[in-house]
Chain A
Amino acid sequence: MANHETILEAKGIYKSFSGVPVLQDVRFEVRRGEVHALMGENGAGKSTLIKIITGVYTKDDGQIYWEGKPVEINNYQDCQKLGVACIYQELSVIPPLTVAQNVFLGREPKNAFGLIDHKKMNEMTQELIDKYEFPLKPTTIVDNLGIGQRQLIEILKGLSQNSKLLIMDEPTASLSGKEAEMLFRIITTLREQNVSIIYISHRLEEVYRLSDRLTILRDGKNEAVLQKEEIVPAKVIKTMIGKEVDESAGSKKMLHSEDTEVRLDVQNLTDKADRFRNISFQVHRGEILGFGGLIGAGRTELVRAIYGVDQAQSGTVILDGKTLSPSPKNSILAGIGFVPEDRRNQGFIPLLSTTRNVALTNYDILPKNGLSVSDAAELEMSKKAISSIDIRPADPGKQVGVMSGGNQQKVVLGKWLMRDLNLLIVDEPTAGIDVGAKDEIYRILEDLARQGVAVIVVTSDLQELIRVSHRILVMRKGDIVKEFKNVEVTQSKVLAAGQGVAEEEEAS
């Protein structure tokens, strides 16, 4: 767009959480009628910045300007009044209502009797639909619509409130290819109608295609603002990761692995819902195999199928020469440990103590007095876990639900250390936990590998992937697209593989 009028500007934004700076002197500017992408690795500060703009968090310092005037945004209502609408990943549409009823929820046009004027409401919705060319009908019941169309309703809702700026946070994360295309078309129309869009996405291809400008955050600081013509894959990847970082310790490594005895042999594993297909790979004795790729590439689904939480469509999992019949119970008995991706919902029992959580998978090896579990042995195991991986507070009776994320993760991991393992699978093992606990977890994984355990690490944190892995497989859209074995690996190389960017391009 030739229009260079600034609609939103955030200047000198600072924010820290319990002393840790998350945003430092961040400047962010959106012009009228542009699609402005916001990128950065996990933890770069994108969400925090958005939450400050939408009034969810209060900034420590800095000023936000709307159409040139300084404004105070203290809650989401404030930002709605200005004309900013946020399209959340978790949709807030109400399924039993119609499209129009959802769009005007709480703001329904009334007739002379004070009742809802359905006819007028449908007309108003139709007007919006026509103006922005949405593939929707006002009278359709939302329950019958797919997730992509539901997202469009959210957008309509924003537009019906005369929003001039829409914020979309990973809008395509749960959309099919066709639905995503529909969304892209709408975004293009919205731009033509002078609506501004802040577009947050991990997917480079979308960003290349849609955005007029791109702001990259790294470690809570502005790294760059790229103009349309500067947005090329190699440049974006380099800026996101940072050249200096890529050459500093911990982000580049000479991988080294030996083909010792095969412990895990996965053959042609295919998912029922086609989230991964025909996956074959092996993990050797004492090897840490890292899985890289974007969120949604099928890594989590793959490891869940290996452990047996989900049943695969077809394929075999062989551990130490024996074919597994997939179920968590069988996997545990075969010596497999599993630390799930979503700690809070899948990892532990919040109401129960450390002791009960640690013992949960280990009653088969805990001594019994007749039918009853030995409380003393259970407590002893819990104390052993606490001391061996430094769980704090060192109180076996403490409810795990009230502990810090790092310690919760130690409890989840700790229970597996109490038994003999052959294979340990960890999915996003350090998501949302502090640096100290991270190092502790890396140390545990390395110790286990030294003892001959085969370890699989799924992580979206590139630094972590490179730090812990002996060998790396990268997945993209349900396939293994790249193996890094006994070569030098950098964050950019892994990221490029996960994005499907050709290597020559990346090297340039």
Chain B
Amino acid sequence: MKNFNLTKYSKPLILLVFIIVLTILRPSTFLTVSNFANVLWSISVIGIMVCGTIFVFLIGGIDLSIATLCGFCAVVTVKTITYFHNSTGGVFAGILAALAVGAAAGCLHGIVITRFHIPAFLVTFATQSIFLGLSMIVTSNKIISCTEPAAFTAIGAKKILGFPLPIYLMILIAALAWYVLRKTEFGRYIYAVGGNATAAEISGINVRRSTVLCYVFSGLTTALGGVILASMTQQAMASTGSGYTNDVITAGVIGGVSLLGGEGTVLGAMFGAVLMGLLNNGLNLMSVPSTHAGLVKGLVIIIAVGFDALQHTDQARKKVKKIVKKEA
């Protein structure tokens, strides 16, 4: 019983401990609305992307192309907008073009993985390089900037009630992903496929189509992330979004999303993203030099994930014991 409660509340508990520690250490700078807005803003792109990629994780796949696809979508957005002479209409065209590229990339991943039975790891590892190459070709490996129109720059910076727009977008996307996974028939199928694809297939679920759709969702949120990043920085280049694959996977794993599939929630993934944001923010406020930041980050992640893992191994051990007993 004691274990059960600890698992259930370990995530909010860890957040609370974090907030308390940072409040005590930096009372004047940490516990302010603007700092919280800052933390959330800094994780909004990761937060949005993890909401799509969680579908891939749940189905037991992985998407290693997130970072470079995000960069390519940013490039596509900026290119499209400049093609339409930085008009407001061009912004819509740019967003649509990026989303179309993201969806097409996801569709491609899904089809190659399901039709040719190539591991997701390999397929997305290869396309990661393709997307990077495409960005380099399109931009001639230069930074392309886009400071106009206002409709574009507003996406990443416009503040509503003191919080920047990407935070609202993140909450909206998270709510959508939560709804699909928690409430719809399709969401239930995804957990079934990730938990046992053979049993799901026998239960009449179209495993291939579900898998392809999951990769499409991942492509779409990655594209949206690319649009927001381009707007935030008012530019795009091949390296836009670099490092995001790691960040998104880390956020998911910290949040208890199993990379083996079938286990994890949007709420958990968002927790992972927020924890990463707080961690970065805390290190920043504490003036930890960037040379040490990586080390500290890694340790904190191990501790946070360790809690969860301990619970899991405990449960797994019990499960194995039971099975052994029964099969004997």
Contact = CB atoms under 8 A, between A and B. Distances in A.
Contacts of A18: 325, 328
A12 interface: no
Most B C-beta atoms less than 10 A away, residue of A338, A346, A360 = A360
B202 A340 contact: yes
Contact of B319 (A329, A372, A401, A404): A401
Contacts of A432: 326-327
Contact of B202 (A346, A368, A402): A346
A345 B191 contact: no
A378 to B, nearest CB: 9
| A interface majority secondary structure | mixed
B192 A360 contact: yes
A402 to B, nearest CB: 5
B184 A372 contact: yes
B192 A352 contact: yes
Contacts of A415: 203
Given A346-B198, A349-B199, A372-B179, A402 B319 contact: yes
Nearest to A343: B199
| B interface majority secondary structure | helix
A356 B202 contact: no
A37 B20 CA distance: 71
Contact of B199 (A307, A347, A363): A347
Interface string A126-158: 000000000000000000000000000000000
A405 B322 CA distance: 10
B204 A350 contact: no
Nearest to A329: B204
A424 interface: no
Contact of A351 (B195, B204, B318, B325): B195
B15 interface: no
Interface in A403-453: 404-405, 415, 432
Contacts of A349: 191-192, 195-196, 199-200, 262
B183 interface: yes
A345 B196 contact: yes
A361 B203 contact: yes
A371 B182 CA distance: 11
A57 B324 CA distance: 11
A351 B188 contact: no
A1 interface: no
A363 B185 contact: yes
B263 interface: yes
Nearest to A405: B326
A346 B191 contact: no
A35 B24 CA distance: 78
Contacts of B184: 371-373
A363 B188 contact: yes
B188 A17 contact: no
Given A346-B198, A347-B199, A363-B185, A352 B191 contact: yes
Interface string A13-53: 00001100000000000000000000000000000000000
B314 interface: no
A199 interface: no
B322 A360 contact: no
Interface in B253-303: 262-263
B246 interface: no
B129 interface: no
Contacts of B201: 309, 328
A353 to B, nearest CB: 10
B180 to A, nearest CB: 9
Interface string A320-357: 00000001110110000010100001111111100010
A328 B183 contact: no
Contacts of B141: none
Nearest to B258: A351
Contacts of B185: 363, 368, 373
A175 B184 CA distance: 46
A359 interface: yes
A432 B323 CA distance: 12
Contact of A345 (B183, B198, B204): B198
Nearest to A304: B202
A138 B83 CA distance: 67
13 contacts: A18-B325, A309-B201, A327-B204, A328-B203, A346-B199, A347-B202, A350-B195, A351-B262, A351-B263, A363-B185, A363-B188, A373-B184, A401-B319
Given A349-B195, A352-B192, A373-B188, 11 more contacts: A307-B202, A328-B204, A332-B203, A340-B202, A345-B198, A349-B192, A350-B196, A351-B191, A360-B192, A402-B322, A432-B326
